[in-house]
Amino acid sequence: DNIAPGTTVTLDGSASYDSDGTIVSYLWTQYSGEEVTITNPTNPVASFIAPNPTYLSTVIGFSLTATDSDGYQSTSYTFVSVTTSNATPVADAGADTTVNEGQTATLDGSASYDPDGTIATVIWTRVDSLPYTIVLADPTSLTTTFTAPDVGAGGATFTFNLLVYDDKGTPAYDEVLVTVNDVATVNHPPSPPNKAISTTRDSSGSVAITAGDPDAGDTFQYSIKTLPAHGAVALSASGLATYVPELGFTGSDSFSVTVTDNHGASGFCVVSVTVTAPSTVIDEPVLVISTTFTGDPASTFTDALAVLIEDISGDGYADMAVGDATGAGVFVYLGNAAGGFSATPLSFPAGGKVLAITSGDINGDGVQDLVLVVDTAVTGRKGAAVSGGFNLSVLLSDGSGGYEDPAVDTSGSVAPSTPATGDLDGDGADEIAAAGAGAQGNNVVVYDDSDPGAGFTFESLLIPSPN
């Protein structure tokens, strides 16, 4: 018989007997079906409460083992069928919905229920055949979502099936439609960020303007919106802005640039400009003595008080002329392409002990001559005295690296300082200006060659000091 759940079921083995003795023990045992508790399992009559089947029905098997007084046993089997009445669950896939491309669509089956139990299993399935890919976030949850695909012009309607099983295994299903609308592409206008240029006075500066547009594939045009107040600006087709300040301007300036995309939308940015004065770099010389020049030991000057470095030979290399304040001579070390000097100098008489030395084209023949201040009195004063007894001496170059004998003005006196040379009267020959002239030693004397090109004859002009 079919027994309803919760019914007390009697297991009756009281008809058992032993033909030649007596039954001394009974044992009821469950061997199949949903587990139950047997009441009085050692009595010939036992019982149990019929369970609520996991599914609609279950069959429970029992055995009764009887033992007689001689120890023999006999086992008999019986079955009890328990059947329940189960209500079908209700599947509710929710109302049909409409979304746009790219939006999140929701499948809501939360209204599904089981009248006499619970929903045990949920399965969402897409059942249409449209050529679009949809991925459900969780197809085993009553409520799940997906991202609406790009469906093109006209849109598309998708069909989803909700299948539920109750805790007794009874199924139910429902369908829902989700329509996805095609949405035209929305254009975003450019939003270029502001920029800045820093430059120095009378120097240009550049910066690249960026469109700031999130739309892929857009192209852009750049144009000046407002001009700077203190300069000019040039704008390339790719958006490179170059600012040129007014001459001498320093301070702040600005201009703006409009960026327009290929859909006609536009935006602008402001470019701030700072123009500063250039930093002044003072290149201070650093003197480093790498070696001491002594020349040829056999002809070394004994007392060098004056030296000149100049291309006095006219070969394109710097030469060095050294005046000897003891030996009354001039030593010329010729320069070379390596940046050095010849070890053995050329030696020429100076007309006195040399205290100062310079050069100039004194007779206008196109080559450099030597101009010296010498001590003709040979007093050993060297450079200690400011005036008195020091004379001008001129060594004319012979054009081939040598010098003629000195022409010394013994009639006038000058200070032991380096004279200046230059063509004062425009005749093609340099004049000589020497300080410390006159009895007081506070005047300037200018010497001119009285017969340029034919030796040197002194002509002098004394320029008195105003004091």
- Domain locations in the chain as residue ranges: 2-83, 97-181, 195-276, 306-459
Q: Of 17-31, 105-119, 325-339, which gets the smallest average pLDDT?
A: 325-339
pLDDT-based confidence at residue 291 (cuts at 50, 70, 90): low
Judged on CB neighbours under 10 Å (0-12, 13-18, 19+), 426 is exposed
Task: State residue 423's pLDDT score.
Answer: 84
Average pLDDT over residues 183-202: 90
Digit-coded pLDDT (tens) for 212-223: 998 888 999 999
Question: What is the Cα–Cα distance from 203 to 275, expressed in whole angstroms?
Answer: 9
Above 50 in pLDDT, residue 158?
A: yes
Percent of the chain with pLDDT over 70: 85
Q: Which stretch, 13-27, 173-187, 363-377, has highest mean pLDDT? A: 13-27
Q: Which stretch, 56-70, 135-149, 352-366, has highest mean pLDDT? A: 135-149
Percent of the chain with pLDDT over 90: 48
Question: What is the Cα–Cα distance from 467 to 464, expressed in whole angstroms?
Answer: 8
Give ∠ CA 316-331-377 in degrees, rounded to 5: 135
Task: State residue 437's pLDDT score.
Answer: 66
Task: State residue 15's pLDDT score.
Answer: 93
Q: How far does Cα 166 stand from its chain's mean position? A: 62
Give ∠ CA 356-397-314 in degrees, rounded to 5: 95
Residues 4, 71: contact at Cβ < 8 Å? no
Nearest to 67 by CA among 44, 46, 37: 44
CATH code for the part of the protein at 195-276: 2.60.40.10
Question: What is the Cα–Cα distance from 462 to 392, expressed in whole angstroms?
Answer: 14
pLDDT-based confidence at residue 13 (cuts at 50, 70, 90): very high
Residues 114, 90: contact at Cβ < 8 Å? yes
Average pLDDT, the chain: 85
Sheet order of strands, 266-276 included: 195-200, 266-276, 251-261, 220-226
Question: What is the Cα–Cα distance from 48 to 46, expressed in whole angstroms?
Answer: 7
Task: State residue 386's pLDDT score.
Answer: 43
Above 50 in pLDDT, residue 387?
A: no
Q: Which residue has the higher pLDDT, 346 or 459?
A: 346
Above 50 in pLDDT, residue 384?
A: no
Judged on CB neighbours under 10 Å (0-12, 13-18, 19+), 118 is exposed
Task: State residue 63's pLDDT score.
Answer: 96
Can you identify the CATH homologous superfamily of domain 2-83?
Immunoglobulins (2.60.40.10)
pLDDT-based confidence at residue 53 (cuts at 50, 70, 90): confident
Q: Which residue has the higher pLDDT, 447 or 196?
A: 196
Task: State residue 269's pLDDT score.
Answer: 97
Above 50 in pLDDT, residue 58?
A: yes
pLDDT-based confidence at residue 439 (cuts at 50, 70, 90): low
Task: State residue 462's pLDDT score.
Answer: 60
Residues 130, 119: contact at Cβ < 8 Å? no
The fold adopted by the segment(s) 97-181 is Immunoglobulin-like (2.60.40)
Question: What is the Cα–Cα distance from 451 to 247, expressed in whole angstroms?
Answer: 53
Task: State residue 449's pLDDT score.
Answer: 66
pTM of the model: 0.39
Type of residue found at 379: T
Q: Of 25-39, 183-197, 240-254, 271-285, which gets the smallest average pLDDT?
A: 271-285
Above 50 in pLDDT, residue 385?
A: no
Q: CB 238: neighbour CB atoms within 10 A?
A: 9
For 55-73, b where at least 16 C-beta lie within 10 A, e where not — what string?
eeebebebebebebeeeee
What dihedral do alpha carbons 49, 52, 57, 59 form, nearest 10°? -30
Residues 49, 7: contact at Cβ < 8 Å? yes
Euclidean distance between the first and the last CA atom of the chain, given in angstroms as a whole number: 154
Task: State residue 338's pLDDT score.
Answer: 77
